[in-house]
Structure 1
Amino acid sequence: MAENWSDEELAAAVDAYKEMAHLEANQKPYSKRKYYRDLVERFGRTEKSFEYRMQNISAVLHEQGDSWIPGLKPAGNVGANVKPRIKALLNINNLQKRPSDVKKAAYKKNLSAMREWLIEVARSKEKVLYSEMMQVFDIDRFSLRHAMDYLGHQSDNLDEPIITALIVSKGTGRCSVGFSKEFEVRDDEVERHRLYEYWANNSPTQSILEPSPTDLKAKALRFAIVASRPDQAAFRREVYEACGGRCVISGCDVDKVLDAAHKHGRDWRLGHNKAEDGYLLRKDLHALYDKNLLTIADDGVLSLAPEALDHYKDYAGKKLP
């Protein structure tokens, strides 16, 4: 029974979990099964019992607001006597001070934005590559794995199709084997079509994003995910950050009236989707720029066509900062 685990067994299980978490944080390969077998040799319990104990450890970490090891879904039936012993062995406060764990937790602030953006991807009946997720949200592969684990289980708990079925490998166009095992999804393509249908007919119960982010990176991300196509979203985020969240001509910082505009001669289809490929412009100025009624010289000086001068003469001859 769970309550009959000795202090030595629990300590060994927690130590093994910590070692795996450390390897995971440093993106080094390891085998969960080997850790289970080593514990079996020491204590005689089954591999399944140690796997479930690891899931209990994940549950304690989740309850504390910390990340757990991908593939070890939290199992909450820890036991009243066992939970405080696991907490003490984890020594969570010290763990959170380690640099690797600070890095590990960095993705958390983007979880709501990731979910909202993936819903828009589903409504557009698209899918997204792992590399594109990392680019749009400016995170590493390790953080993406944890984010996907969290968002997938969130969907499961809400009785929705698993939102992370939209994230696929470039080589295969399919989800990883781990996705199928974790969520017991036999065919990820079928799951994607379930997502397309579900989000065509449903809406989140409430707004997920913070209403008024003040941090530039947070505002840039919110600005970016208006676009469901990954290359557009990444371009919008980079241009927004590079321009400080303000129109380069007027100084306007009202996000809803701003656009990320490609510079003349740049083409998104040719991969020109970096910060240096665009300007952040107020929508009316973007329209003028696209119609060549407003031009920006290489030295940053603005010129206006005669038909635009009546309303925009203040910008004639102005030089970009």
Structure 2
Amino acid sequence: MDVERTLAAIAARGVRLPPQQGPAKPNRQHPLELPGGRRRTTTAARRGQNAFRRALVRQYGMICAVTGPNPAEALEAAHIRPFASTERHRVEEGLLLRADIHRLFDSGLLTFSSDLEVCIAPSLFGHPTYKALQGSRMHLPTGAVLDRDAVREHHSMTTSTW
């Protein structure tokens, strides 16, 4: 085996290996505890997020729109149109999503087609758990009040970055 070629191939795929310790390098000790503490900040608190979540639970039950039934602790209220730009909590523009799915949704790595199928960014295809969601139908109750225009807008904006 050519060690240098193997290490170069691993590095090209973004895998970080621990530093190699040779005889010329000193033995460094890494701290076992990292600095902590607190700092003071001023933030704008969102009003109504808890009521928004409760309304979504009434609308959809304890069901993630992507993965199906989940425990309450794993579900988060997601805005299809970002709250930061609208500052409104509209149930028809909301979904219950499992926390990791919500993070992907807000990061532009997951969206929904106009046919309400899950669309995953190509960068996630190397992750079998998420790739398996590609093309699956959203878990929505009959008669859900989902704003289809908001879904189309999110899909268009999100997939344009892929």
CA distances 1:255-288 after superposition (whole Å, capped 9, x unpaired): 111110101x343663431211111000010011
Counterpart contact for 1:295–1:304, Cα < 8 Å: yes
Q: In the alignment, is residue 248 of structure 1 matched against residue 65 of structure 2?
A: yes
Q: Which runs of 5+ in 2 are unaligned?
A: 1-44, 141-162
Give, in angstroms, the shift of residue 241 of structure 1: 1.4
* Counterpart position of 1:261: 78
TM superposition shift of 1:315: 0.8
Instruction: Show the counterpart of 2:119.
Output: 303
Partner of 1:234: 51
Paired residues for 1:105-120 under 5 Å: none
The runs of 5 or more residues in structure 1 that have no matched partner are 1-227
Deviation at 1:252, TM superposition (A): 3.1
Quote the Cα distance in structure 1 between the aligned partners of 2:46 and 2:108: 26
1:281 is paired with a residue whose SS is strand
Count of aligned pairs: 93
Tell whether 2:135 aligns with 1:288: no
**Greater fraction helix:** 1
Q: TM-score, normalised by structure 1?
A: 0.27
For residues 1-321 of structure 1, the aligned pairs below 5 Å read 230-263=47-80, 265-267=81-83, 270-309=86-125, 310=127, 311-320=129-138, 321=140
2:148 paired residue number: none
Where relative contact order (Cα < 8 A, 6+ residues apart) is larger, the structure is 2
Higher strand share: 2
Q: Secondary structure at the match of 2:69?
A: coil
Q: 1:291 to 1:253 in 2, by over 3 A?
A: same
Normalised by the size of structure 2, how large is the TM-score?
Answer: 0.51
Structure 1 counterpart of 2:158: none
Note the alpha carbon deviations across 1:22-80, whole angstroms, 9 max, x for none.
Answer: xxxxxxxxxxxxxxxxxxxxxxxxxxxxxxxxxxxxxxxxxxxxxxxxxxxxxxxxxxx
Q: Percent identity between the aligned chains?
A: 33
**2:16 alignment partner in structure 1:** none
- Per-residue CA deviations over 1:193-230 (Å, capped at 9, x if unaligned) read xxxxxxxxxxxxxxxxxxxxxxxxxxxxxxxxxxx854
